Amino acid sequence: MPDTTRRARDPLLRMVALARPRGARFALGVLAGAVATGSGVALLVVAAWLIATAATSPPLTALSVAVVATRALGVTRGVARYLERLLTHDAALRTLADARARVYDRLAHAEAVHRFRAGDLVTRLVSDTDATQDLLVRGLTPPLAALVTGAGVTLVSGALFLPGGLLLAAGLLLGGVAVPLAAAAAGRGPGRRRAAARARLSTTLVETLHGAPDLVAYGALPAALERVTAADAELTRVERRDAGLLGLGAGASALLAGLTLWGTLLLGVAAVRDGTLEAVPLAVLVLTALAAFEIVAPLPAAAARLGAVRAAGARLFDVLDTPPAVRTRTPEPHVSGGAPGLRIRGLRVRYGPREPWALDGVDLDVPPGRRIAVVGPSGSGKSTLADVLFRFRDPDAGTVHLDGVDVTTMAPDAVRARVTGMPQDPHVFAGTVRANLRLARPDADDDELLAVLRRVRLDTGLLDTEAGPHGARLSGGMRVRLALARALLVAGADGPGAPLLVLDEPTTHLDPDTRDAVLDDLLSATAGRSLVLITHDRSRLDGFDEVVELVGGRVRDLPAHLPADFSAPAQARPATISPVEAQR
């Protein structure tokens, strides 16, 4: 289905569609809920009949049947309610699990994590995704069960006394349809504001926590805390309005229940006086009307929450509808074979239709076993080139062939199995250094981990050290070297592995002596493999087979042996660069 069609559909309908594979299980749960509610009404009706009939001294057999029916209805009510909870919650939780898996899958392929603010994305992943469960369990089950049970109760009341049945039907329609619709209409605006306020609070709080050291250093923490307090106060105001709507809905339902009960009583008393209705059916009719409104009692509250659920669904589908950052094209049938290694021709990439070209006609060849250094000033397109090679971004023009195959016709994971390395801003996960290393090679033993730590000049005693959130307990240089160690592990430096290693700024934060030692070890560890080193540091590039400079998104070839004071001429530097690329 095209994205425009999906976006045009109501978020509630799309959330319900997520449960379609488990529709049969959910329908059984609704049926069980109807049986439970009907049993509760029938229990009160039989009790009323038993009490009213007992006053007329009936045969003991009739009373015994009523007593047995009362016990049976009590057991049926409990069992049916349990089955309703079991079936509907099972269907809802399985649907929720599928929705979360779809969200995670889309995040992994769409770079949505870079398109939403951190706290807002957390809210979409947790609260907004959980709204799927709320819609199924609290938004759909009660109305559907009420529809089945209400129809049955109305028929029974109409059979006993037609005017009373019609009055009950009118009361149930007002309490079960009119009041919930009014509550849903009134709750749409507050529901949107509630979802937005929760997202603002989460975003502000997460950003304040993550930026606390800088906020303290610049004396900006009080202002940040005020923003958190203001966001919390706004959410509280919206929640208070929401609670007011729920109270109004409950009050309206109670008022309708009372009016219907009094109307039924007045009609029934008049019918008894006229002799058209017996006293026992009157008692049954009145208590049936009293019990019937338990069927529709949850509906106004459920309808009032639909606004918040709809807003949460819209935010959820904003993530699911985010287009993939890379797409796999169908290969041309007549294209086959090609030169081994990496071959780039006319590569052009930019970050928006009106942005300047971050890469503008790049040509580059990396034959098997060749080591190439790509240098250039900030904003020259180096990290964009790495993103294309890692299949984080598609070319806007030009081609990238790996062993003669266009990478855009290969699955991204298939490319990454052959092209691996280290991005510019590698993430260090909370956990031990050992756990971070085994992300690259889960089967690596301690000897292999210690060897790779020595190769990147990290103390082997760090293996059991906790890295902390985002690697906060490690220095900047240690984080870079840890990421480099992961790249060497996944590249299979000591055995079969990815034939092409791409490293984006692997010597950042390293002192000159450590940088030189790491580069020497890196060249030694990748002997026989292709290597693309992306760096702004022009020192110690004499060990590479070729040095390529990017200037303004274009390639300029340089000799492999560069003087220590080499720099690009001023006239070759780009006059303007992409704002996104400038941050890279």
Q: What pLDDT score was predicted for residue 560?
A: 46
**Residue 86 above 90 pLDDT?**
yes
Q: What pLDDT score was predicted for residue 279?
A: 81
* Tokens at 475, concatenated: 């220095």
Choose among 149, 150, 169, 171: nearest CA to 161. 169
Q: What pLDDT score was predicted for residue 317?
A: 86
Counting residues of the chain whose pLDDT is more than 90, the rounded percentage is 5
Average pLDDT, whole number, for the chain? 80
| Segment holding 167, helix H or strand E | helix 162-173
**Residue 113 above 70 pLDDT?**
no
Q: What pLDDT score was predicted for residue 497?
A: 59
Q: What pLDDT score was predicted for residue 566?
A: 46
Q: What pLDDT score was predicted for residue 87?
A: 92
**pLDDT tens readout for residues 360-387:** 889 999 988 888 989 888 888 888 898 8
Cα separation, 512 vs 518, in Å, equals 10
For residues 52 and 171, the model is more confident at: 171
**pLDDT tens readout for residues 572-582:** 333 333 333 33
Which residues does 469 contact at the CB level (< 8 Å), separation at least 6?
430
CB count within 10 Å of CB 177 equals 17
3-class secondary structure, 154: helix
**Residue 443 above 90 pLDDT?**
no
* Phi, psi (degrees; rounded to nearest 5) at 359: -125, 130
Choose among 534, 437, 452: nearest CA to 495. 452
**pLDDT tens readout for residues 498-529:** 688 898 888 777 788 878 887 887 787 777 78
* Tokens at 320, concatenated: 């699911």
Please name each of the domains of the chain with its CATH number: 3-320 (1.20.1560.10), 342-582 (3.40.50.300)
**Residue 4 above 80 pLDDT?**
no
**Residue 491 above 50 pLDDT?**
yes
Tell me how long the chain is: 584
Q: What pLDDT score was predicted for residue 579?
A: 34
- Please, which pLDDT band fits residue 186 given cuts at 50, 70 and 90? confident
Instruction: Let me know if 187 is exposed, middle or buried by CB neighbors in 10 A (0-12, 13-18, 19+).
Output: buried
**pLDDT tens readout for residues 206-264:** 788 878 888 888 888 888 889 889 988 888 888 888 777 778 878 888 888 888 888 88
